[in-house]
A and B are shown apart, each in its own frame.
Chain A
Amino acid sequence: MSDPHPTGDLAEYALRLGDDALVAAQRLGEWAAKAPEMEEDIALTNVALDQLGAARLLLSYAGELEGAGRDEDALAFLRDDREFRNCLLAELPNRDFGGTIAKLLFLAAHQRLLYDWLVASTDERLAAIAAKARKESAYHVDHAAQWTVRLGDGTDESHRRMQAAVAEVWPYTHELFAADDLTRRMDERGVAPAPATLRDAWLATVEPVLAEATLDRPADGWAPGGGRDGLHTEHLSYLLAEMQVLHRAHPGAKW
């Protein structure tokens, strides 16, 4: 094989997807017991648990591929921010409810397209994980789209907040479609798509929702990145501190 580190590449790729899901789950979990309505509380934590379920499968796989004896818990609870490979979009603070919905819409729309593609991946394990996660992602997109329309095309105040959230989050979506050496090798081996090839379909998902919501689709410009290399915003460290404190204080703690 021309690739000298095929297993390492796959582990790194699984880590990226797993970290996206894990960090998204942790952020969504912040709404538990605080959502605007009890019903929405349960809906958001349902989505969070779906994300966590995908994260567990992906991180377990990454740990197996790595072959260093790290399981899902070791990867989730015992890495520092520089070792996390999630996109910046997932780690951004929730802000208000509209901000959470904007992030969920953009991230879930990408996850759904990616999982749809991965079902036909040459890597069987990734394909199996994607087959499970894609249906969940479809529901996440639907939930976020429903609320985007209601908030965007709602009251003056909800429109103002939703528009601000979309504008704030939009630049971070570019990282989802950015290529690097790893994604090029994954693409060559048929393991994963070239990220940029998903963008048209992503726009075709997101733009009609924004239009129905009477929201302006922000112009493309500033495109922050770095998450895939472990260079994160300041927000990730705080998120990890809260997520990891129990496990670090009581190693191996179980329910």
Chain B
Amino acid sequence: MSGEWPLWEVFVRARRGLSHTHVGSLHAPDATLALRNARDLYTRRQEGVSIWVVPASEITASSPDEKDAFFDPAADKAYRHPTFYQVPDGVAHL
């Protein structure tokens, strides 16, 4: 039956103030049961206070083939980090 039930990605917020974090995936026939399955699979040990489930088919992901074009150009642009810049003397409110 797993072939028939769609895949869902699960995001859990560990506690208030933190972001939801991807924790894994599961199969479920619909969103309501996906949420319940997520509760049983991923919050058994008090891992969270909030759950999101997202149909895996709805996620658009970057491709490993595009990795070089996507991410490598950022590697030699150290000026994008705030630490690259020296704070001039006498600037009180930067």
A-side residues, CB < 8 A to B, are 36-40, 42-43, 46, 142-143, 146, 150
Is A46 in contact with B40, judged by CB distance below 8 angstroms?
yes
Query: Which residue among B2, B26, B36 has the maximum number of chain A CB atoms within 10 Å of its CB?
Result: B36
CB contacts (< 8 Å) of A150 on chain B: these are 29, 33
- In the complex, are the beta carbons of B44 and A39 less than 8 A apart? no
Asked if B32 is at the interface of the complex by the 8 Å CB criterion, the answer is: yes
B28 within 8 A of A: yes
- Contacts A37-B1, A39-B26, A39-B28 given; indicate if A146 touches B40 (C-beta within 8 A): no
User: Contacts A37-B1, A37-B27; is A42 near B33 (CB within 8 Å)?
Assistant: no
Known: A36-B1, A37-B1, A37-B5. A43 touches B36 (CB 8 A): yes
Report yes or no: B27 in contact with A38, Cβ–Cβ below 8 A: yes
Q: Are B2's CB and A46's CB within 8 A?
A: no
Bound-complex Cα distance A46 to B41 (A)? 10
For residue A146, which residues in chain B have a CB less than 8 angstroms away from its CB? 32-33, 36
Bound: A40/B26 CA distance, A = 11
Chain A, Cβ-Cβ closest to B34: A39
21 A-B contacts, Cβ less than 8 Å apart?
Answer: A36-B1, A37-B2, A37-B27, A38-B27, A39-B26, A39-B27, A39-B37, A39-B40, A40-B37, A42-B37, A42-B40, A42-B41, A43-B36, A43-B37, A43-B40, A46-B44, A142-B36, A143-B36, A146-B32, A146-B36, A150-B33
Residues in B whose Cβ lies below 8 Å from that of A143: 36
CA distance A143 to B28 in the complex (A): 13
Interchain nearest-CB distance for A150 vs B (Å):
7
Nearest A residue to B4 by beta-carbon distance? Answer: A37
The distance from the CB of B34 to the nearest CB of chain A, in whole angstroms, is: 9
